[in-house]
Amino acid sequence: MEKIIEESKQGESLVLENKPENTKKLFIESYGCAMNFSDSEVVASILSDGGYNTTSVLEEADLVLVNTCSIRDKAEQTIRKRLEKYNAVKRTNPKMKVGVLGCMAERLKSQFLEEEKIVDLVVGPDAYKDLPNLLAEVEEGRDAINVILSKEETYGDISPVRLMSNGITALVSITRGCDNMCTFCVVPFTRGRERSREPQSIMAEIQDLWNKGYKEVTLLGQNVDSYLWYGGGLKKDFVNASEMQKATAVDFDQLLEMVAVGFPKMRIRFSTSNPQDMHESILHVIAKYPNICKHIHLPVQSGSNRILKEMNRLHSREEYMALIDKIKAIVPDASISQDMIAGFPTETEEDHQDTMSLMEYVKYNFGYMYSYSERPGTLAGRKMKDDVDEETKARRLQEIVDLQQKHAWFRSEEFVGKTVEVLVEKVSKKSKDEFSGRNSQSITVVFPKENYKIGDFVNVKITSCTSGTLKGEAVGLSSMN
C-alpha cells in the first residue's frame, strides 16, 4: 500500500515517436503506482529496439501488454476486465499476442497461462530485459514466462522513453523492491528485496532529461529513504560489505544533495518515504536546497499502536508524531500527505478513533485512503481473518475521507494571500485560458495564461482556493528559470 495510485492515470496507453524501420505495433497499458508507469517506459524502450512502434489503437496491435498492479482487489478486477477485452479483439486477429507484466504477473503466473489460458506471456518486474527472448518463444508457438526476482536488476543501463508528453516532468527510479514486510502488502513478494541503483547512472539519466528540457524529476522507489548504494547487491547484505564499501556508500540524503547541487535549476521531488527510515539528516537537506520540493508523502496506515503492530509497521504512533514535529520544525513550509487503511483485521472503534485523532494532530494536506482488501499471499491474507464487515469499513473510510477533506480546505486556505512558485505543466482542464501546475508543496495551482508558457517557473499570488486547488494571478517569472 506504500504506493500512490492516481485514479486519473489508470489505463493510460503509452504512445511514442515511431521509428520508420520498425514494422510491428505494440499497445501497452499501465495500471497501479508510479513505479509501474516508470517500468512501462523501460519496456517500451526495450521493445522499440526490438522492432516495435507503439499504437493507441488496440485492434491494430501485434503485441498487447498490460502492466499490472496487485495492491488492491479493485485493481486486479479492472485488469481482468481488460484481459477479457483484449481476448475478444484477439479472436478477430489471431496473430495478436497478449502479455501480462508487473505485480499480477508474478502472483498469478500459472493461473493466467495454464489454467485460464488468457495470455501468451507473463513477465515479472525484474525480467523485462528478457522480453525479446520471451517473444521469440511465443512466435514459435510456446507460452513464455519469466517472473524470477533479481538481486541486482535496477534497469540502470536502459534509457527509458517518457510517458509524459509535456516534456516537463519525469520519473527516475532509484530503488526497486522492498524489505519492509508489512502484513497487508504484496510488494516484497511481487517486486523482491530492496536494492539501489548506482548513483552515477541516476545522475546521467537526470542529465539527459535536463538536456532534453525537462524541469522536474521525481526520484522514485517503494521506500526512497532506505536508498543505499555500496557497489551493488541487496540492502540487507550491506552488513557483509567491506570496510571500503561501507566508507564509500551513498545513502538517500547524500543522493538527494548530489541531485540538488548537480541540477540547481531543476525541481526535485521524491516518493515514497517510510516513517521508520526517514532520518533527520534528510530533512536538513530538504530545508537547505530551494530546488528540493517541500512535500513529504509519509504513509502511516493507522493511528492505532495496536493496529500498527498487527500491520508490522516498524514505528509507533508516538514515533510518527515525533517525526511530524521534526518535519514542522526543520521544514516548516512542508506539505505532508498520507496513506490510510480503514477496517484492517481486528480494528475496533477505538482503533479507528486513534486514526482520526492522529489526522487531527497532523492535518494532512492530502491523502490516499482505502478500505482494507485482503491480498492473497500476504501475511494478513494467510494469518488474519478479514473480520470487519464491509458496512463498517465503508463508514470508517467515509469518516476518514470527510476529515481529510476538512483538513485539505484548512491547508489550502493557508496559501491565500501568499505568493508561490509554480511550474507550468499544462493548460487547465476547466479553461483553455488558464495554466495549471504545482507549487513546491505539490498542490495544484491555476492562473490566467497571459504571456507565460508550459515549462516556465512562475510566481503566482494566491487569491482563492478549493480543498484541492489554489487559484491566483501571475506576478512574474521566478529565479528558477
Instruction: Provide the grid cell at 116.
Output: 485460464
Location of C-alpha cell 540538488: 260
Coil, strand or helix at 115: helix
Please check if 293 is assigned to a binding site.
no
| 166 CB neighbour count, 10 Å cutoff | 15
Please check if 182 is assigned to a binding site.
yes
Give the span between the Cα atoms of 377 and 181, in whole angstroms. 12
CB contact at 8 A, 58 and 86: yes
| Dihedral angle, C-alpha 190, 194, 198, 201, nearest 10 ° | 30
> For residue 260, which of 332, 213, 202, 211 has the smallest C-alpha distance?
202
Coil, strand or helix at 1: coil
Quickly list H helices, 315-438.
317-330, 349-362, 379-383, 390-413
Question: Which CB contacts under 8 angstroms, 24+ apart, belong to 152-156?
Answer: 152/195, 152/232, 152/233, 153/126, 153/129, 153/195, 154/195, 154/196, 154/197, 154/198, 154/201, 155/42, 155/128, 155/129, 155/197, 156/197, 156/198, 156/201, 156/202
Give the span between the Cα atoms of 368 and 370, in whole angstroms. 7
Please check if 103 is assigned to a binding site.
yes
Please check if 178 is assigned to a binding site.
yes
> For residue 204, which of 256, 157, 261 has the smallest C-alpha distance?
157
Give the span between the Cα atoms of 449 and 456, in whole angstroms. 11
> For residue 424, which of 398, 392, 402, 449 has the smallest C-alpha distance?
449
Give the span between the Cα atoms of 464 and 409, in whole angstroms. 11
Burial class (CB in 10 A: 0-12, 13-18, 19+), 295: buried
Query: What single-letter amino acid sits at 316?
Result: S
Give the span between the Cα atoms of 126 and 140, in whole angstroms. 23
Measured in degrees and rounded to the nearest 5, phi and psi for residue 142 equal -110, 145
Known binding residues are: 33, 69, 103, 178, 182, 185
Known binding residues for [4Fe-4S] cluster are: 33, 69, 103, 178, 182, 185
